[in-house]
Chains A and B, each alone.
Chain A
Amino acid sequence: MNGAVNIVITGLGLALPGVETAGDLLGRPDPSAAPVDPAARLGKKGLRYKDRATQLALCAAADALREAALPEQDGPDVAVVVSSNLGNVDTVCRVIRTLDEETSRGLSPMDTPSLSSNVIASELAIRFGLRGPNLTVCSGETAGLDAVRWALTLLRAGRAGAVLVVGVEPDNDDVRALTGAPRLVDGGAALVLETGESAQRRGVRALAAPHHYVRTDDPAPALRAVAGEPGLTLRAETTDPGWGAMSGALGVVQCATAVGWFAGGHREPVHALAGGAGLVLTATP
């Protein structure tokens, strides 16, 4: 599945506490840094009634699209693939409490979009005018790397000229209680993927090349068998400096970390491992 078309990352956006650049991900970012402030990054316009996960996704996506030099408001063949397992859990919990306290008459129609789990991907499409396939992956801990896999699939199928991939999870009392984690990452990352040929034609820089996605009980040896020894192996515990559970953000933040690794001059490949999913990222010429 992997060799035929060369696909590269050409845009990266981060919405993580204490992180400015991909290189910061390789140090030890301060997990107690201030939470990401979407209004400060994007302006308040258009954020009202958007849930926290959607706001964080918009922050990361804006930077990734800008770096990839895609038009601000017009993407007829740009697809969106979002990974988030917990993004709308807070809305569902809040609306069920309102229903119990005030009956359906107390509900706000403004909550309707966020009750559907595809809200992040559809709001990204609306804000940035992205009219390609629009997909939300909620497959658990593997979801972030799965999202990259489906982006590769969409590009190889010719269903899109570029794909915006976003992995994001919010932090709030409801998701802490549900996951049992003391806190969650409250952020995420965004990537733009396209073919190497498209990047060259558009004159944008390739930051890394993802390939060899595997899904198996033990992806580490499977990756080594197909792609050789890595220079850096990223697991959940080596990706998170103390933000807390990363869930659907994990795999996409790992790809961002790989971009930082190559930006720092390393050439050896990175193996990203999230649950039963694995992905190889290599440096681009």
Chain B
Amino acid sequence: MSWAITGVGAVASIGRDTDEVFSALLAGRDGLRPQRGFDQTNLNASQLFEIDDRAGGPDRPCRATGFLLDAVAEAVSDAGLTDLTGVPVLVGTGLRELRSVELWARGAAELTTDQLHFGTALRERFGATDTHTFANACSASLYALALGTDLLEQEATDTVVVAGVDSITETMFGLSDRVQLRPPAAVRPFDDGRMGTILGEGAAAVVLRRDTAPRAPLGRVRAVAVNCDAYHSTAPDPDGVRAAIVAAHRLAGVKPDDIGLVVAHGTGTPLNDHVEAAVTREIFAGVATQPLFAAIKSMTGHTSGAAGLLNLIVALRSMTGGQVPPITGLTDPIVEVRGFPLPSAGPLPCEATVAQVHAFGFGGINAVAIVEVGA
């Protein structure tokens, strides 16, 4: 079984809709800038991949909610829908509206508990009532996608909207500053010289349907596998990552040979990139033609709850447009990825029709999606 994707939406530091984001990625443009939301005197690191929507003014609450509404509006309009009455909307997020909690705690903003989740705003804007906010760290949006496919399979609904979103919290930025004593100058996924990750803001949304009517799909979700390492609260475990990839192949009915493109989680941290690359190399060890291996976080930063679906949209666009974006900043690939065709010098031609998409999160929560486009 597979599910039609009939609409997509994306917002990130490098663009305010899917076309803008994808063309920035192809051009190798990144959104890393001096941070604009926080008091620099409390912090050592000074660069982030923020969405520039404060117009030079002070920070304000509910920015994540705004990003989410923009991405959902684009996806819904792309799918030819107008209102979402009766349509389940599943939102994955790492940090919810915790930035608003921070502003509230300082007395800088009003906040009510019904603004902590996204259901209130989705109802006001789109009339959606069956709304769900999942706080599933950096794999949240692919976790939500897994549940969305389950609803289509099990329930009397023909359409599901799945989204992911995060804005940066000062507490997570502060902790990352505390543990990365030398702030990374850039995010360099799978590079020997990688120094760690930098947070980014973003949102992504897709409309999934049981059938393709009334319009041709942009691609199809074959399957999404989800699991948990049950190993460590912040470090990944190769066994859990491997189990998620193997399960995704099994659920999708594909073999490693069928996969033409991997869009990696690739956070630029020493540990994630090593574990992810080593396991992926092992999975594809026996195949005749190694898949293209892509990653976008050097340009978008680590967008946490949005990251998985952003990767998925990049996979679809790369396959339909025939070009995969470069991994900027990749000059000295780690040994584990050297066997894959790497878009390190610029975009590479992409003839893949089936892609594997990764998202891994704190707490060892792993999600792997298999998507395809029409041949």
Contact = CB atoms under 8 A, between A and B. Distances in A.
A137 B234 contact: no
Contacts of B135: 116-118, 136-138
Contacts of B177: 104
Nearest to B155: A1
10 contacts: A99-B174, A103-B43, A107-B175, A111-B175, A122-B363, A135-B134, A140-B117, A157-B154, A178-B104, A178-B113
Given A159-B150, A217-B129, A178 B228 contact: no
B101 A138 contact: no
Given A93-B105, A119-B233, A247-B113, A103 B134 contact: no
Interface stretch (A32-40, A124-132, A224-232, A259-267): A124-132
The 6 closest A-B pairs by CB, nearest first: A122-B363, A117-B135, A134-B228, A113-B233, A125-B230, A104-B177
A247 B113 CA distance: 10
Given A122-B363, A125-B228, A131 B132 contact: no
Interface stretch (B4-12, B91-99, B252-260): B91-99
B164 to A, nearest CB: 14
A128 B229 CA distance: 12
A138 B134 contact: yes
Given A1-B156, A115-B171, A139-B131, A153 B151 contact: yes
A100 B106 contact: yes
Interface of A: 1, 4, 75, 80, 85-86, 88-89, 92-93, 95-97, 99-100, 103-105, 107-109, 111-113, 115-119, 121-123, 125-126, 128-140, 146, 150, 153-154, 156-157, 159, 174, 178-179, 215-217, 247, 276
B117 A139 contact: yes
Given A116-B95, A118-B136, A121-B363, A153 B178 contact: no
Interface string B110-138: 01011011011000000001111111110
Contacts of B174: 95, 99, 104, 107
Nearest to B363: A122
Interface of B: 39, 41-44, 93-96, 98, 101-102, 104-106, 111, 113-114, 116-117, 119-120, 129-137, 143, 146-147, 150-151, 153-156, 169-172, 174-175, 177-179, 226-234, 240, 243, 361-365
B137 A112 contact: no
Given A115-B169, A116-B95, A140-B113, 13 more contacts: A92-B101, A93-B101, A113-B362, A115-B171, A118-B365, A122-B228, A133-B227, A134-B226, A137-B132, A137-B135, A138-B135, A139-B132, A139-B133
